[in-house]
Structure 1
């Protein structure tokens, strides 16, 4: 910043009472120092130094200006230092919306790990299976399954290979049997997600690249993905959940996968924001951290 540098040259010259000494201390030529002082006097509109053959002496206006300059340079130096430190050590607030199920059971723990690495960050989390309005709600970024329908939103992949999986508790399958076909699935109690007046009872699968939609029925609907998972764990029916949501339950044997001969629906997870300008260094670092954690989690 040329203006800031000119002020520093002015302060050093006043301190040394010599243009050549100031130039020497600041590792610049006397001509460059002289040009800086002339430029500053022109901008201020006042003579700052009385020049003699041996030294320089501040004018009355120069003495007044020096006090303000020292304060201004101090504040600017502190500001630049704070910004530089902030780039090396993340600060500020990240406002994040995430689905209730994987949010509570997976991502909160991963975010705790991230914050332990960056203790000066503050994170404000909104847990909801409803889609946060990125333009009107106090949310910077959101974790969402599937590409956003709003093409103006920016979507960065977190878990691109994630899919849905049919699953039920061992107790439920022992009591009601394991469906092996779509026709058999239709006879089972299916645990469905609901949002407002919309019932998500049309489950999408694929067969040889062609989409297959199954209309299922059941006696339990919830607007919270965690509730659907808990019903499945309690043996109340069959759920069609994101693999991220139930991976630990499957590994532990609390839930079992159900194969009806169809390929499951992809369920890629994205970090979504309203504009690329939102993606500052700390959000980019969080995105990379979560993507790495999700990759290893699904592969384990």
Structure 2
């Protein structure tokens, strides 16, 4: 039978990237930690970590086992609380990866509210627009726009109906005029986003059943989506962004939606993890919490989008 303390060694080693660091964190000697890992690998008849004198990383089998180990530890913790006669509340550490703009300006205050409701929960938020490697980085879940490229990952919808919207600040429109057709975007300074060396300069829209597209250009490009939004709010040009990212700016009058009769490109928001074993009570509650708030923003979206 697998031992609880052995599972803890595996999880903390994966989180910290070091067996000795995991030993210190759990207040055991490195020898005890090493023996626990060896014992568990012998029981499972697989190597969980590929080890050398300078590095340690999860093997494919270790990556698969890690999610189950986390879920088992959380289930045991909840069972202990129930047996102790206390109300079961979510606790522990939840490590989340999220896009820069959505994470910083939308998700961050939502997480503050969520932790106020669940004060035993600790959150580690990692922001960046590049997709997190869920198998190698210390991340439990990722929140991302679009479906994952890796079909083996589990994707649960948060805002499936979210779309991009075209917008600009009132100050920019006062100075440069408001486009009434997409071909007029060629006359405007369009703020561009680049990810993985790819420049997103072709903007697509749907007019009824027709798909329209236009190649745009501008004098400012960034690989950080939050920077692009900030440029737009500052009146630097026209931007084409996820409605969830700009909803608060539109509602506050900092940005105005342009050509609202056109539907923008889909920008579904998903919660992603490596396998269903990671869908703990904490993850399910957080997903429901975010879904509700995304739905409220989507309902306030201008017509046509």
Which residue in the other structure is 2:80 paired with? 81
1:207-230 CA distances to partner (integer Å, 9 max, x unpaired)?
333433321111111111111011
The Cα shift of 1:84 comes to 5.3
Whether the 8 Å CA contact 1:169–1:235 is kept in 2: the answer is yes
What is the CA–CA distance in structure 1 between the aligned matches of 2:243 and 2:176, rounded to whole Å? 23
- After TM superposition, the structure 1 = structure 2 runs for residues 18-167 of structure 1, keeping only pairs within 5 Å, are 80-82=79-81, 88-167=88-167
Summarize the Cα distance change of 1:87–1:291 in structure 2 as closer, same or farther, 3 Å threshold.
farther
Summarize the Cα distance change of 1:148–1:211 in structure 2 as closer, same or farther, 3 Å threshold.
farther
Long gaps (5+) in structure 2 = 1-75, 301-305
User: In the alignment, is residue 269 of structure 1 matched against residue 269 of structure 2?
Assistant: yes
What is the CA–CA distance in structure 1 between the aligned matches of 2:119 and 2:92, rounded to whole Å? 10
Secondary structure at the counterpart of residue 180 of structure 1: coil
What is the CA–CA distance in structure 2 between the aligned matches of 1:78 and 1:262, rounded to whole Å? 50
The Cα shift of 1:102 comes to 1.6
What is the CA–CA distance in structure 2 between the aligned matches of 1:286 and 1:78, rounded to whole Å? 18
Q: What TM-score results when the alignment is normalised by the length of structure 2? A: 0.69
Which residue in the other structure is 2:41 paired with? none
RMSD: 2.2
Secondary structure at the counterpart of residue 270 of structure 1: strand
Secondary structure at the counterpart of residue 282 of structure 2: helix
Secondary structure at the counterpart of residue 103 of structure 2: helix
The Cα shift of 1:152 comes to 1.3
What is the CA–CA distance in structure 2 between the aligned matches of 1:260 and 1:244, rounded to whole Å? 15
Whether the 8 Å CA contact 2:81–2:88 is kept in 1: the answer is no
Secondary structure at the counterpart of residue 161 of structure 1: coil
Long gaps (5+) in structure 1 = 1-76
What is the CA–CA distance in structure 1 between the aligned matches of 2:174 and 2:285, rounded to whole Å? 45
- Matched pairs, number: 224
User: In the alignment, is residue 228 of structure 1 matched against residue 267 of structure 2?
Assistant: no
Which residue in the other structure is 2:286 paired with? 286
- After TM superposition, the structure 1 = structure 2 runs for residues 147-296 of structure 1, keeping only pairs within 5 Å, are 147-259=147-259, 262-296=262-296
Larger radius of gyration: 1
Summarize the Cα distance change of 1:78–1:142 in structure 2 as closer, same or farther, 3 Å threshold.
closer
Which residue in the other structure is 2:299 paired with? 299
Which residue in the other structure is 2:43 paired with? none
Summarize the Cα distance change of 1:261–1:297 in structure 2 as closer, same or farther, 3 Å threshold.
closer
Whether the 8 Å CA contact 2:155–2:271 is kept in 1: the answer is yes
Whether the 8 Å CA contact 1:206–1:212 is kept in 2: the answer is yes
Q: What TM-score results when the alignment is normalised by the length of structure 1? A: 0.70
